Amino acid sequence: MKFLCIPCDVKMEVQVDGIMPEEKQNLAMKFKCKKCGHSIAMLTNKFETEFVSKLGVEMGGPSDISKSPMAAVSSSLAQAKEELKSTDPEDDLIWTEEAEQRIKKVPFFVRGMAKKTVINFALEKGATTIDAKLMDEVREKVGM
């Protein structure tokens, strides 16, 4: 799927940093025209979101998450062993248990992007801990 900016007649680019989906629910992905700067959002309902999440590819390009073994299985399998679930790459920030659970609920194929958005927001703000409140602020900021 590609998006075309009709006035400029150029391809719109996915905005890797700027996504904060509702966990396992509807999803909005931002695309921007490099030429005129116009942004649009592609909206998917929970059924469409789930379907894409089972394919094993990531929107916005592969992140460290997809380099983990059995990434799609560990992300989608209910009641999987903890050893399999803990394959997300670490970062220097402290994630509270609630924040960690929330980010793990984000569909596999956009989790890398969502995580990046949260981390960048925390770094900009000078925060060292990511908690649920900060994640709510991120959602507020990106307007979804």
- Contact residues for another protein, defined by CB under 8 A: 1-4, 6, 9-14, 16, 24, 31, 47, 50-51, 54-62, 66-74, 76-84, 86-87
Provide the 8-state DSSP code for 127: -
CB of residue 41 vs another protein: minimum separation in angstroms?
13
d(Cα 58, Cα 67) in Å, to the nearest integer? Answer: 11
Q: Name the burial class of residue 51, with classes exposed (0-12), middle (13-18) and buried (19+) by CB atoms within 10 angstroms of its CB.
A: exposed
Nearer to another protein by C-beta: 40 or 132? Answer: 40
CB of residue 50 vs another protein: minimum separation in angstroms?
5
CB of residue 102 vs another protein: minimum separation in angstroms?
16
Nearer to another protein by C-beta: 104 or 127? Answer: 104
Nearer to another protein by C-beta: 16 or 127? Answer: 16
- Contact call for residues 74 and 66 (beta carbons, < 8 A): no
Classified as helix, coil or strand, 100 is helix
d(Cα 89, Cα 138) in Å, to the nearest integer? Answer: 21
CB of residue 120 vs another protein: minimum separation in angstroms?
17
